[in-house]
Structure 1
Amino acid sequence: MTPPARWSAVRPSARQLAWQAMEFYAFIHFGMNTMTDREWGEGHDDPAAFDPAALDADQWIRALKAAGMTGVILTCKHHDGFCLWPSDVTAYTVASSPWRGGRGDVVAEVADAARRHGLRFGIYLSPWDRTEASYGSGSAYDDFYVAQLTELLTRYGPVFSVWLDGANGEGPNGRRQVYDWERYYAVARELQPDAVISVCGPDVRWCGNEAGDTRPDEWSVVPRALQDAERIAERSQRADDGAFARLVRSDERDLGSRAALAGFEDDLVWYPAEVNTSIRPGWFHHPAEDAAVRSAEELFGIYLRAVGGNSCFLLNVPPARDGLLREADVAVLERLGRRIEDFRARRVTATATVSSGTAGDVATAWPGRGRMPWRRDEADPLPGVRLAFAGARRIEAVVVGEDIARGQRVEHVVVRGLRDGRWTILAEANAVGYQRILSFPPAETEAVLVEVPRTRDTPVLACVAAIGATS
């Protein structure tokens, strides 16, 4: 099947482009559940239980920045309904707690700390509220939710992400709330037009699990039906346990190939994926999990597959009851940041030649995007970029990135290495998108050839880089 030209005409918005370039950022789950040692609170816990006396948002942000993260999303309110800011529409907030003498505002402290350290700030506001009496009543609860959303989007400066999930339970009247998603989206668009609306939203798609698992090929151009928020709601976590964070589903492994898009040719959207998981088994801090912090190597592997697989990586790091990140988490984040920096620093200096046209700056752009991407001539039967080294080099990965402002076009990429006059295949993949990191056993090569044998339109590459092996 020849792909219709309009497939490559599906393009990201400016907010989606800015989000994709962030690559790696944090979730902070913190609140009443932290104090009660639960994942899902039932609501109505005594606000006096919230008193994180040592809370230090700068400590949180320094640790996230050390890991190489570019932003942070705070759980401003989880399903239990306790608000980390002094909301005007409920008394169930930090203003009713002893913390900071009832004058504290966790949202403000985290937003301010993020700005001080150069990270962008985002919010999570649970649509399910197990304390609010109007939940399940319809428009009255929508009014309540929109009031809180408005507070968060007008009091704390620029927001890069409004992160929504489909958590949904019964209200006091025994009814489930039917969320007015379109109204929520309209408020976010009006108040924070540069923010992406994620997961139960039109801008960023959930990868489908909370284990950090990634697809073999991730496509950003997918059927519009994937934006159906209710479908995501059906697959959201429904139990108070840490097992959900390690659950990997094997279905829906292909969302955007030619075969997957057959029948949807006229109803496609740009809907890129976010890979999310937690540094611990649970999303909130639990003392019993202090010895179960994931290793930097495991997280680096997820980073390579997510950020190197046309996705962004959202890693949850939960502070403890006293308001501080535990040293085990901080140490892992620091090691992870060093691992990422080391990987980037091993980019091999190379001279680029191309099969047609001019190479632009594709060989020097990474990490980052080239200002002069390479676009092959229309008549070029087998587009390719060759990276020549000063001498034989051992390499273990090649990074390829498209200029996604012009769509996602590459459908197959092959990486070959040159040794003693012979080319051998080192790696190959299908989807590329914003960035694809193709890893392979270390190989000694004099040059690398990146070929694009199948595309949806003229390929436009923003970066091509070879990564040297560690030994």
Structure 2
Amino acid sequence: MTTFSLNSLLLHRFGFIWASVLPIAVAGAVEFAPLQAIDPGEPLASIVSKAAHVVPSPRQVAYHKNEFIGFIHFGPNTFTGREWGNGMEDPKTFAPTGLDTDQWCETLKAAGMTMVVMTFKHHDGYVLWQSRYEKHQTIKNSPFQNGEGDIARELSKSCAKHGLKFGIYLSPADLYQIESKDGLYGNGSTSRKSTIPTDPASFKTAPEKVRADRPAGAPLFTFECDDYNRYMLNQLYEMLTEYGPVHEVWFDGAHPKQKGGQTYVYDAWYEVIRTLAPNAVIFGKGPDVRWCGNEAGGTRATEWNVIPLPRDPKDFDWPDMTDKDIGSQAQLAGAKFLHYQPCETNTSIRHGWFWRDDAQQSVRTADDVFDIYERAVGGNSVFMLNVPPNKSGRFSERDVESLRETGRRIRATYGTDLAKGGKVSAPKLQDGDLDTWWEPKDSSGELVITLPSPAPVNRFVFQEALAKRGQRIEKHALDAWIDGKWTEVATGTTVGYKKILRFPTVTTDKLRLRVLESRLQPTVAEVLVHFYDQPPLPVIATRDASGNVTLALKEPSFEGKGAGFKTSGLTIRYTTDGSEPGPKSPIYQKPVPMTDGGSITARSFSAKQQGAVERFHFGPSKSSWKATATSEENATYDAAKAIDGDPGTFWHSRWSAPAPEHPHTLTVDLGNPMTLTAVTYLPRQDKAVPDGMIEEGRIETSIDGKTWTTAGTFHFGNLVNDPVERTHDLKKAVQARFVRLASVKGAAGKPYAAVAELGVLTAPSN
């Protein structure tokens, strides 16, 4: 068995030695470390002082510098159109015909990314490498390369070729192992002495037997574990010894289904990772990096890396931290330990983590991706953007176009420091070294940055000396020298690894950064000044209950003082025939009536540029529709709320006792017969809870409201974290006046059903 002292175990798991996290008695000093222990009854001032001494581990420092990384979801779901598979898919379902991992890496590199993490085993349990431990749900049983394919091998080689770091996602949840008769997950097996890597032929009968073909010199591990943990440990061992170097290991906390009280021996998992991939951070269910708390690209205005823990991290289970405030002084007050754990902001370029189609599935524009980049990377977070390959095994054209334009904007904006060659009132703040810094004697102070000559500016970047002094700044402001006086142009709170202040364009030759509040003395390690040449803004569309479509400019949200995306001088032009709007297309001046549904294509124009093309599809107006349901909680949640055009209201089945079980039905009278091609479902939008989320159900149609026909069944996965509108395409167009949605299963097994908006899409009229 691999043995460790307490100090060496903590060094392996958390990147520090225990002696360095305790308060140093000499002269009351506190040593800088990734963890600080809090004494019972310790005053808040002392706790805050310790928080100012929490610093990242070397692997976390390297992780911060990644800034923008890629995520790839690929597997059977790509071919079935599901977000979460059920584990029972035919392994031949996975059948890419033109896999091109070089195209992936070339595109992600062009976008400005530094690392790629891929789902080599998602919740369905399908394995995308030549694992010795999976015989059924595996790429070995795929027609891809006659069962000899290995996506991990190809991607790791492409990453090395294109200068990208490589990361792995292994889902602890495994629906195949749960659902299969002989599955290992929750099978009631007892913990047994197991050697990792285990001989596959003796996996159950003699788990202490060593795999004969382990890489030369690779270490052995011995753990007490059950069958499923042994399975996971061997998969980790394969990935970390045969496809590295690995820089991030992603453990998703999602569990579509659990069985048999299965638990995980995370300590053993961490030990294997720390030993075989010492530079890799552990995301999610682990101590290094935490989830941002949403899947929509949302960021906190105040993002702390110093996290209060209620107990020792070696006994902590690392739950999702979704609150808006997780690290303020108010939160620190109840801490038993202070731990360094930065945030990763992850979202997908598409609606959904997996590719579904290139006709209806929406793709984020470069405007959207660039905005998230500035808020995430410039808000003390690492930005992880998922880009799912299509059925051929390539990124689709719209995704590539958006990513390349995003990369162009990043380079054009942040590739030139307008302050270079000027003067800063403190030395070494433009040397590219985060280990040299300015530190005033008090908890506030100011810096003046003089540009070589007056220039238009609208971005200011600065960074703290995290590795040496931790995160300290709590409040700051930026001034510009305009017309002979200082004018405040932006404000903010935390800084951390990087802060990007965005503000209206001003022409100036001098900026002043004021640190207003800090935990002990603040530090600033780097300052940079930039200009973003903003293209015309994207267009958004909304439709009222009468069927009138309103077009508007989409302005990114700002926190604190500072905004200034230019809307003046922009016009919106649109078409309704599917063509791209040009300079001679109609100018939008008032809502466009679309009572019978249809499509609008729009973009904004300035005098010299044109914005991104946006396409919007609408079903028929709901103004004459009527809805009934088999169950309602009360009038606030009655059936009519599902068709009122307001996403903030919703129908909800009865939850008061006695609450009925599934199925619940919502029936809509469309008023007139229509040729239906799809049904749309918007889950409740008020909060991220599974109550009422309809995961599985049926679509039924009728001409007279008496005789019903099943038009299709649906399965919507990951609704709680991704509550966007879902579209269920009917296999064939159906003539109907009545539509009925019947719930079969709720998310997380909940017995309720809810609908914020139910809609239909129709075939074009002749």
Q: Which residue of 2 aligns with 1:458?
A: 521
Paired position in structure 2 for 1:190:
275
2:323 to 252, 258, 270: 252
Give unpaired runs (5+ residues) of structure 2: 1-43, 178-182, 189-225, 535-766
- After superposition, residues 436-447 of structure 1 pair within 5 angstroms as 436-447=499-510
Q: Secondary structure, in 3 states, of the residue corresponding to 2:70?
A: strand
| Contact preservation (8 Å) 1:169, 1:177 | no
SS, match of residue 319 in structure 2? helix
Checking the alignment, whether the CA contact within 8 Å between 1:169 and 1:176 is kept in structure 2 is no
Q: Partner of 2:156 in structure 1? A: 111
Aligned residue number for residue 160 of structure 1: 247
**Residue type of the alignment partner of 1:21:** K
2:329 & 2:318 partners in 1: Cα distance? Answer: 26
Q: TM-score of the superposition, structure 2-length normalised? A: 0.56
Q: Residue 244 of structure 1 aligns with which residue?
A: none
Distance 1:318 1:169 in 2: 21
> How far apart, CA to CA, are the structure 2 residues paired with 1:290 and 1:344?
34
For 1:102, the equivalent position in structure 2 comes to: 147
1:300 to 355, 358, 370: 370
Give the root-mean-square deviation of aligned CA atoms.
1.9
Q: How many residue pairs were aligned?
A: 442
Offset of 1:393 from its aligned partner? Answer: 2.1
- Contact 1:383–1:452, Cα closer than 8 Å, also in 2: yes
In structure 2, the CA distance between the partners of 1:230 and 1:417, relative to structure 1 (3 Å rule), is: closer
> Deviation of residue 177 (structure 1)?
2.0
Task: Pick one of 290, 294, 303 that aligns with 1:205.
Answer: 290
| Other structure's SS at 1:280 match | coil
Which amino acid is the alignment partner of residue 363 of structure 1? Answer: Q
Pair 190,370 (structure 1): closer, same or farther in 2 beyond 3 Å: closer
Q: Using the alignment, how far apart are the partners of 1:341 and 1:288 within structure 2?
A: 28
SS state at 1:374 partner: coil
- Any idea what the Cα deviations from partners look like across 1:387-441, whole Å, max 9, x if unmatched? 1123322211111100100200111111111123211111111110000001111
d(CA) in 2 for partners of 1:4, 1:170 = 41
Larger Rg: 2
Q: Does 1:6 align with 2:50?
A: yes
Matching residue of 1:401: 463
SS across alignment from 1:441: strand
Could you report, residue by residue, the CA deviation over 1:294-320 in whole angstroms, capped at 9, with x for unpaired residues? 000101000000000000000000001
Q: What's the offset of the Cα at 1:466?
A: 1.5
- The one-letter code matched in structure 1 to 2:154 is E
The within-5 A match list for 1:40-55 is 40-55=84-99
Write the distance in 1 (CA, Å) between the matches of 2:79 and 2:424.
Answer: 59
Of the three residues 399, 414, 423, the one matched with 2:486 is: 423
Deviation at 1:185, TM superposition (A): 1.4
Higher relative contact order (CA 8 A, sep 6+): 1
Aligned partners of 1:11, 1:364: CA distance in 2, in Å?
22
Cα 1:143/1:40, change in 2 over 3 Å = same
Counterpart amino acid of 1:442? T
Q: Percent identity?
A: 42
Quickly say closer, same or farther: Cα 1:429–1:113, change in 2 above 3 A.
same
* Whole-angstrom CA distance in 1 between matches of 2:449 and 2:304: 26
CA distance in 1, matches of 2:353, 2:359: 11
Alignment of 1:205-354 (within 5 A): 205-225=290-310, 228-229=316-317, 231-232=319-320, 252-264=323-335, 266-287=336-357, 291-350=361-420, 351-354=422-425
SS for the counterpart of 1:298 is helix
Which structure dedicates a bigger proportion of its chain to strand?
Answer: 2
What amino acid does structure 2 have at the position aligned with 1:409? R
Q: Which residue in 2 is equivalent to 1:391?
A: 453
Aligned counterparts of 2:231 and 2:443: Cα–Cα separation in 1: 59
Pairwise CA distance, 1:131: 1.3
Instruction: Return the offset for 1:329.
Output: 0.6
Report the Cα distance in structure 2 between the residues aligned to 1:289 and 1:283, rounded to whole angstroms: 16
Question: Partner of 2:530 in structure 1?
Answer: 467
Unpaired runs of at least 5, structure 1: 236-250
Q: Is the 8 A contact 1:409 1:459 kept in 2?
A: yes
CA–CA separation in structure 2 for the residues paired with 1:418 and 1:29 = 48
Distance of 2:298 and 2:327 partners within structure 1: 17
Question: Alignment partner for residue 143 of structure 1, among 230, 237, 245?
Answer: 230
Q: Distance in 1 between matches of 2:318 and 2:459?
A: 39
Which residue matches 1:359? 427
Kept after mapping to 2: 8 A contact 1:136/1:170: no
- Aligned counterpart, 2:474: 411
Alignment-derived partner of residue 546 in structure 2? none
Distance 2:526 2:166 in 1: 28
Equivalent residue for 2:66? 22
CA distance in 2, matches of 1:180, 1:289: 44
User: 1:16-56 deviations in whole A, cap 9, x for unaligned?
Assistant: 00011000000000011112221111113222222212001
In proportion to residue count, which structure has more helix? 1
In 2, the alpha carbon distance for the partners of 1:259 and 1:26 equals: 34
Alpha-carbon offset, residue 181 of structure 1 = 1.9
Q: Is the 8 A contact 1:281 1:289 kept in 2?
A: no
> Structure 2: how far apart are the matches of 1:285 and 1:211?
17
* Alpha-carbon separation, structure 2, partners of 1:289 and 1:371: 49
Change (3 A) 1:290 1:70: farther
Instruction: Give 1:14 shift.
Output: 0.4
